Amino acid sequence: MLFIETTSPPPFWQAQLTDKQRLAYDKAFIGKRSQAYYLKRFAEFDRAGRLSPKWHWAGFLMTFPWLLYRKRYLDSIVYSVAGWSFIQLIMTLVLVLAEFLFIHDLDAAWRMPLRIGLGLAVWGFWAVIVGRWTDAYYYRMARREIADAIELYPRDEAAQMAHLREHGGVSLVGLALAFGFYAFSLAVIQVQFLPIYAKQKANDTLFVAYDIVNSAQNRVEAIYQATGKCPINTPLSTDNQRVRLQLLTAADGVPMTSHCMIQATVQGVPFPNRWLNGQTLIMYRQSDDPKQTGWGCVTSLNRKQTPKQCLTAER
């Protein structure tokens, strides 16, 4: 669609046709769906004598389904292979350049959102270009099919109309195939790629939770050494809204010999790691004797999900 001729007259123009004949051919090619819209656009191009950018929402939002819906099967394959390869190449170049220039200097929390934003910006730029030239592209396809029909059946108007109806109009099967392909792609993403992303985000959340509990444990231990008892009334707070801290004297899973422990409860974690909400990680003092400074760690997570630091916490 990026290589639409803007010469005058438009490509495949049949100067010998009357306005009435051209209108009949256009109706046969367009079909009944959205006929008024496309006839209006075609008339604008005819009057201008050249192609120009317009705006087409379907071309902008869902190019691939629209191409299949309008029976542009070969073009849909070219768009999917060549178009998306081009987009991926541009995305890669933009992301590599951005990584080199400024992303590596940003806080870790901002890096992934920025990468996603840049990728969406590249896609959006491409989609805007496609959306602006979709009407011109469809007009060009109509003129090409009309030229083919006249060349193949120069004296048989009925055959010409049949050719245009066969190669034009819409295909609900094509539309269903497009959305079926999208559903399959989403399923692949969910099964293959989403777990990879989710695992990394879950590990990051659990690492932060452990780090927060560990910092609180150092503070509590310092007070314990100074006072000889657990500072149960000492408030524990954190700037991280996804971890809630509590200082307890007993908790499930903690040895009964311990009467001083810090519990971190994970909360407010969004999809795809909502299962983390309500999970707990507890650091507990193993002895009431101030001379013994060992701390243990228990968690509601299974062994695979438990942070490695918690597995080795024996202080």
Hey, what domains does the chain have and what are their CATH numbers? 19-170 (no CATH), 207-311 (3.30.700.10)
Predicted local distance difference test score (pLDDT) of residue 69: 95
DSSP string, 182-229: HHHHHHHIIIIIHHHHHHHHHHHHHHHHHHHHHHHHHHHHHHHHHHSS
DSSP string, 13-70: --TTS-HHHHHHHHHHHH-STTHHHHHHHHHHHHHHTS------HHHHH-HHHHHHHT
The answer to whether the Cα torsion of 81, 82, 87, 91 is positive or negative is positive
Distance CA 283, CA 213 (A): 7
Q: Assess contact for 180 and 222: CB atoms under 8 A.
A: no
Peptide bond into 9 cis (omega under 30): yes
Predicted local distance difference test score (pLDDT) of residue 115: 87
Lowest mean pLDDT among 61-70, 102-111, 247-256: 102-111
Rounded average pLDDT over 1-19: 81
Question: Which residues are CB-contacts of 223 (< 8 A; sequence separation ≥ 6)?
Answer: 231, 234
What SS3 class is residue 116?
Answer: helix
Predicted local distance difference test score (pLDDT) of residue 80: 86
Where does 220-293 show beta strands of DSSP type E?
243-248, 261-266, 280-285
Distance CA 28, CA 15 (A): 19
End-to-end CA distance of the chain: 66
What SS3 class is residue 141?
Answer: helix
What SS3 class is residue 271?
Answer: coil
Distance CA 63, CA 87 (A): 14
pLDDT tier, 313 (very low <50, low <70, confident <90, very high otherwise): low
Q: Which residue has the tokens 């075609």?
A: 42
Distance CA 251, CA 265 (A): 13
Distance CA 104, CA 151 (A): 60
Rounded average pLDDT over 25-37: 96
63 vs 3, higher pLDDT: 63
Tell me the residue type at 140.
R
pLDDT tier, 107 (very low <50, low <70, confident <90, very high otherwise): confident
Lowest mean pLDDT among 28-42, 88-102, 137-151: 88-102
Predicted local distance difference test score (pLDDT) of residue 3: 58
Q: Provide φ and ψ at 158, rounded to 5°.
A: -65, -40
Predicted local distance difference test score (pLDDT) of residue 312: 67
Q: Which two tokens stand for residue 73?
A: 């099967």
pLDDT digits (tens, 9 = 90+) for 257-299: 899 999 999 999 998 899 999 999 999 999 888 888 899 999 9
Q: Assess contact for 277 and 267: CB atoms under 8 A.
A: yes
Predicted local distance difference test score (pLDDT) of residue 160: 96
Distance CA 264, CA 267 (A): 10
Peptide bond into 272 cis (omega under 30): yes
How many percent of the chain have pLDDT more than 90?
60
Q: Provide φ and ψ at 21, rounded to 5°.
A: -65, -45
The DSSP element (H or E) to which 295 belongs, if any, is: strand 295-299
pLDDT digits (tens, 9 = 90+) for 195-253: 888 888 888 888 888 899 999 999 999 999 999 999 998 888 877 788 999 999 999 88
Predicted local distance difference test score (pLDDT) of residue 315: 42
How many percent of the chain have pLDDT more than 70?
98
pLDDT at residue 1 above 60?
Answer: no
